[in-house]
Amino acid sequence: MTQLKFLSQAPRFLFFTGKGGVGKTSIACATAVHLAEAGQQVLLVSTDPASNVGQVFGISIGNQITAIPRIAGLAALEIDPQAAAQAYRDRIVGPVRGVLPDAVVKGIEEQLSGACTTEIAAFDEFTALLIDSAMTAGYGHIVFDTAPTGHTIRLLQLPGAWSGFLEEGKGDASCLGPLAGLEKQRGQYKAAVAALADPKRSRLILVARAQLSTLREVARTHEELDAIGLSRQYLVINGILPQAEAAQDPLATAICQREQLALATMPAVLEALPCDLIELKPFNVLGLEALRQLLTTTTATPHTEAITPAIQTPNLSTLVDDIAINGHGLVMLMGKGGVGKTTLAAAVAVDLAQRGLPVLLTTSDPAAHLGETLVGVLDNLTVSRIDPHTETERYRQHVLETKGAKLDTQGRALLEEDLRSPCTEEIAVFQAFSRIIREAGKKFVVMDTAPTGHTLLLLDATGAYHREVARQMASGIHYLTPMMQLQDSKQTKVLLVTLAETTPVLEAANLQADLRRAGIEPWAWVINNSVAAATVHSPLLRQRAANELREINAVAHQHAKRYAVVPLLQDEPVGVGKLLEMTRPPLRKP
């Protein structure tokens, strides 16, 4: 195997981080196998809520160190973030239950219900693996699937006694709750963060796909980690279609061209990083043989004239037919980064507008080309663009001028730090969205980049934080009105966007569970960029199409009440005509 840069002189700790569906679990597993077969003692650790490490190896792992059969020197551990978060909540809430009023306890539980708590609880579990301990003493390498985010590390670096701050009633903002009771572990956390920042001991590997949007997100992650001292990073761009697959296949040719454009125009901050390219493989990365082949260069598959025709599945137009019946309403597209929900929101908006219905497309996506393409093209389609940075800064200033004015110097410093969290941006953007939600009573409002279930739970909490947010809503808008509308399936239709791959489907299922906890029932799922829904000649893409069928079947029969599949298109869906191809794909002859 050609030596990859991220494996060269590998330090003891290797962290793989990236969005769902980019292949970080597969690459982490393949790395662990490679190091173990080179004679090292290796521990593979997953903190991913949708972990499929056990599935990759074909065994049950769980929250205990488990030897991997047939690989001497390799063991694995799956930290269950949800179980860790529940244990964490119990440690914090248990001592005050029956002591504090029930309403206060419920407020604490709500604050501890979201993603911030899960992140920190998982970090609490694996910090023990970053310091010298009997449990890890025998391992030369520890490989982590899903590193902590810069947000989590920044919170754990904060000074001060969090418990006392909370007990005095000064800290009821979005991410302060999860830090209650951390003072006892602060020494361990400090040592763990120091290990992460030491390039002789740790290496962070950013995993991405050769897509413009994905590379932009990775660039933001790089800058966030760099800002807190984790500057020694590597970049792995996974799943690049081999050029040989483009022969006599227009779809494969288009994919290759898009990927080469993304690589040629990647953000400048990524160009300086050591970078490895890993080719797309025709097989699912399950089992040892697949893992051994993942980090190698694929031998070109002989060309064949055989084709794989597109499968017959509901298309997006079928969903739009049902949405259009009421003549107005709120349509929200939710999903993890990189699944294409911004473009799908534009496609739904265009399809509704083409039917003669008034539509407002609301997005916080920084890619202005959608607005430039749509505005003025259809008379009954308008675009409202929300700038997350502007809205977040406005929200921060308002909170500091109101709540912050009542705090002492230490309290104000802690509040300022908390207002830098991702939760703050979500809430600020939601407030901006809520100001236009009422327009859905007379037209269609199609909303992209919707808030997560975690944010909605915070906004609907019954404690002090809920009341504070309610007071901060724009003048004239009742706080409960947007929440009640989101929870009313007659007024709001939530579309969950995913890809026909294992991790994105699991992540969408987790988001669905989060939304249900907030009283919001997703109306439909949309599987985007499906190879199985396209007609392909490339042998590699034909195999990928076959691999998608299991995930499509899982969505159809396990997760979704209704669903649609959008095929992977040859051309970028920019402009009315191309966007309509997403909802009404043209019939293609084999």
- For residue 347, the model assigns a pLDDT of 93
Burial of 190 by CB count in 10 Å (0-12 exposed, 13-18 middle, 19+ buried)? Answer: middle
For residue 328, which phi and psi values (nearest 5 degrees)? -160, 170
Q: Which of 50, 49, 54 is nearest to 68 (CA)?
A: 54
Round to whole Å and give the CA distance between 340 and 357. 24
Q: Which positions are catalytic?
A: 21, 23-26, 48, 503
Task: Indicate the DSSP class of residue 587.
Answer: P
- For residue 330, the model assigns a pLDDT of 93
- For residue 110, the model assigns a pLDDT of 66
- Assign residue 344 a region (left: φ > 0; alpha: ψ between -120 and 50; beta: otherwise): alpha
In 210-250 the beta strands, taken as DSSP E runs, fall at 233-240
- For residue 141, the model assigns a pLDDT of 96
CA dihedral angle for residue 289, residue 295, residue 297, residue 300, rounded to 10 degrees: 50
- For residue 332, the model assigns a pLDDT of 92
The mean pLDDT values, 10 residues at a time, for the chain of 590 residues are 85 87 90 96 84 84 90 91 78 81 74 66 76 83 78 52 41 46 64 84 93 86 84 93 89 94 94 95 86 78 59 91 94 84 91 94 65 65 85 88 83 75 72 81 86 59 43 49 76 94 86 86 96 92 93 96 94 83 64
Using alpha carbons, list the distances in angstroms from residue 466 to 193, 217, 459, 460. Answer: 32, 30, 6, 6
543 CA to centre of own chain? 26
Indicate the residue type of 329: G
- For residue 86, the model assigns a pLDDT of 81
